[in-house]
Amino acid sequence: MANLVIDIGNTYTKIAVFERDEMVYNNQYQSIDAILLNKILAGNSVETAIISSVKKKDTPEWDALLTSGIRIMYFNAAMKGRVINHYLTPETLGLDRLAAVIGANYLYPGQDNFIIDGGTCITYDHVDAGGNYFGGSISPGLNMRYKALNYYTAGLPLIKSDETFDEPYGNSTTTAIRSGVQNGIKYELEGFVKKYKKDEQELNIVLCGGDSIFFDTLLKNSIFAPYIKIEPHLVLKGLNAAIQNNND
């Protein structure tokens, strides 16, 4: 039997189907409805579904699941798997961050993991070899930075990221913006990794989220490149792990 994982993020809703640890289906959508859910269910023998949302209100599409005989689990702060959560306000911890931490700890047990999630925001979280999680950091994401420069100024244009840009500075307004945003993120990534790598000599740098490949490009020539593990679907895998941990 399979598990259905639904992750409702700020921009997209990501849906995956797992048979134990193997992801057999995944896609992302700007909107979902009962027709779509039923189509996914029809092609898979789903027994359990887990739903995680960064939004405050649940959407009504879950009626399609509730009438299908599938066991429904709503991911919450108490479903921390084998992670020991020391966060002072666990009820305010973003569920996507918690799922990523659970996923890293599940995929790389007994190891120190530093998770960098490149999505709408960039989040940095560390779970040590003993499964202890104390907290992390949140900063604006790649596209958010580009949009902010355009929105909050009178003269700066809105441009898109360019993974081929590899200069220390810009010699035009466009490249100056690109240098500030992309080099700024690069130095931010390296600074956070350097801090955690100093404390934990054997450290996995787990990149996830929509910009994980782009961040890997930014770090490809750094001294940290050998420690990087790319897991674009880490949050989905963490939610699937939460189901399995809850069943154990």
Convert the pLDDT of each residue in 191-225 to its tens digit: 999 999 887 778 999 999 999 999 999 998 889 99
The whole-number pLDDT of residue 247 equals 62
Distance CA 111, CA 206 (A): 12
The yes-or-no answer to whether 2-74 and 84-237 have a common fold is: yes
The whole-number pLDDT of residue 6 equals 94
The whole-number pLDDT of residue 245 equals 78
How far lies 35's CA from each of 55, 65, 73, in Å? 22, 11, 21
The whole-number pLDDT of residue 50 equals 95
Distance CA 187, CA 34 (A): 44
The residues that bridge with 21 in the sheet, in sequence order, are none
Helix (H, G, I), strand (E, B) or coil at 194: helix
Distance CA 242, CA 235 (A): 10
Are 144 and 154 in contact by the 8 Å Cβ rule? The answer is no
- Positions marked active-site: 96
Where exactly are the structural domains of the chain?
Answer: 2-74, 84-237
Among residues 209, 137, 218, the alpha carbon closest in space to that of 185 is found at 218
Superfamily of domain 84-237: ATPase, nucleotide binding domain (3.30.420.40)
Are 121 and 139 in contact by the 8 Å Cβ rule? The answer is yes
The whole-number pLDDT of residue 56 equals 61
> 53: part of which helix (H) or strand (E)?
strand 46-53
Q: Could you identify the residue written with the tokens 């500075």?
A: 169
Residues of the chain scoring pLDDT < 70: 56-60, 247-248
Kindly report the pTM of this predicted structure.
0.91
Q: Note the CATH number of domain 2-74.
A: 3.30.420.40
Alpha helices in the chain (DSSP H): 34-42, 63-66, 95-107, 142-151, 173-178, 184-199, 212-219, 234-247
Alpha helices in 87-183 (DSSP H): 95-107, 142-151, 173-178
The whole-number pLDDT of residue 80 equals 87
